[in-house]
Amino acid sequence: MSIQENYELAKKAYEKWGINVDEVIEKLKNVPVSIHCWQGDDIGGFEVNQKELSGGISVTGNYPGKASTPEELRADLEKALSLIPGKHRVNLHAIYAETNGEVVERDQLEPKHFENWVNWAKENGLGLDYNPTLFSHPKADDGLTLSHPNEEIREFWINHCIGSRKIGEYFGKELGTPALTNIWIPDGYKDIPSDRLTPRRRLKESLDKIFAVEVDEKYNLDAVESKVFGLGSESYVVGSHEFYLNYAMKNDKLCLLDTGHYHPTETVSNKISSMLLFSEKLALHVSRPVRWDSDHVVILDDELKEIALEIVRNDALDRVIIGLDFFDASINRVAAWTIGTRNMIKALLSALLVPNEYLKQLQEEGNFTERLALMEEFKTYPFGAVWDYYCEKMGVPVKESWLEEVKAYEQEVLLKR
């Protein structure tokens, strides 16, 4: 049977439950995923005085073909985007600035250092998001930045974050879609601290200074991101979930939840509904922790499906800003982007193809038997036929055929670097 024929049969199965599959596809087309540039070069960046990766972050593997210039990275992103259905965004870190060989300290970065990225985004119809880079730098060598006891070091990072928000504002103005500028810091201690309060007080004061500088929210959205622990900060992280949750709520900022930044017994999917009750918008970094925050490529596992369900069933597709954050150097990097992003979109499609309102009604009525039965049966409904049709309709490879394009790109481009 053809893709179209399989799609028509799938439509009939879903329509019995009041699901208009054509409308689902139209809705999905308008949901952007922010694809992180750093998967393409193992979070290396393009600083003239490039420093070894630090800040509790580790990238393992040495697969050939890593991008080593902005042009190579953008070409790799273009290839990945050509294999992913929909129109999306690209997420940049400060270390991806282009300074034409000049040493420019991070607290001196300006919009002009990202003009090439903006022009490229315009050509490709993309939005851009942004992150100050508070790691892999001499002023972060002792594991402290915005909470550092040295005022001069704190001021350096404060100014870097202020400049980053202005760069995000520039992205938003130029591209007609607001940038999400997200602050994550590695600050913490390897062993048990004797004082947890003072570093957090300094972090609060630093953030207050950063956000005191006016940036137009029409063009830039501010977010703060927590972490449970990192390499070198196993016992204490200054920017904990409780710290940032309270800070975001009090100061009307977005709280960004990274799926790898919680205790293994916690799930981000379970946090989304609570956050939506008290926040107009919520930001996500979707990753896959394996035993720790190891940022494996996103797969279509139960937690990813549950995250998508929580977004969809709560009618929050326009309230949850979805970004990805993984880095695997043990496999083809273009393939990693493609696998992870396609899986995020698959999860959203799967969630849209569930009779969510009816299942809610069953729960309210106490009909837990039918609720469980239907939730299980819909796991084997013909979702794959709809996905194949969506890919074909959006002009990207169907099923695993995209892999042949990546193999060819590897032979023609990556292995010649």
As a whole number of angstroms, the distance between CA 174 and CA 99 comes to: 20
Query: Pick the catalytic residue: 174, 295, 310, 328?
Result: 295
- Tell me, what DSSP letter sits at residue 64? S
Q: Which H or E run contains 182?
A: strand 179-183
Whether 139 is catalytic: no
Query: Pick the catalytic residue: 184, 337, 387, 402?
Result: 184
Whether 301 is catalytic: no
Whether 263 is catalytic: no
Whether 258 is catalytic: yes
Whether 285 is catalytic: yes
Query: Pick the catalytic residue: 227, 253, 305, 346?
Result: 227
Q: In sequence order, which residues have a C-beta less than 8 Å from that of residue 294 and are 6 or more positions away?
A: 58, 260, 288
Please give the angle made by the CA atoms of 385, 391 and 396, to the nearest 5 degrees: 150
Whether 364 is catalytic: no
Whether 184 is catalytic: yes
Query: Pick the catalytic residue: 222, 225, 310, 410?
Result: 225
Quickly list H helices, 252-293: 269-278
Q: Judge whether 244 and 228 are in contact, CB under 8 Å.
A: no
Q: Judge whether 53 and 93 are in contact, CB under 8 Å.
A: no
Query: Pick the catalytic residue: 325, 328, 388, 410?
Result: 325
Buried b (16+ CB within 10 A) or exposed e, 125-164: ebbbbbbbbbbbbebbeebbbbbbeeeebbebbbbbbbbb
Query: Pick the catalytic residue: 42, 107, 129, 293?
Result: 293
Whether 261 is catalytic: yes
Whether 120 is catalytic: no
Query: Pick the catalytic residue: 11, 137, 166, 261?
Result: 261
Enter the tokens of residue 241: 């979930």
Query: Pick the catalytic residue: 66, 285, 305, 346?
Result: 285
Which positions are catalytic?
Answer: 184, 225, 227, 258, 261, 285, 293, 295, 325
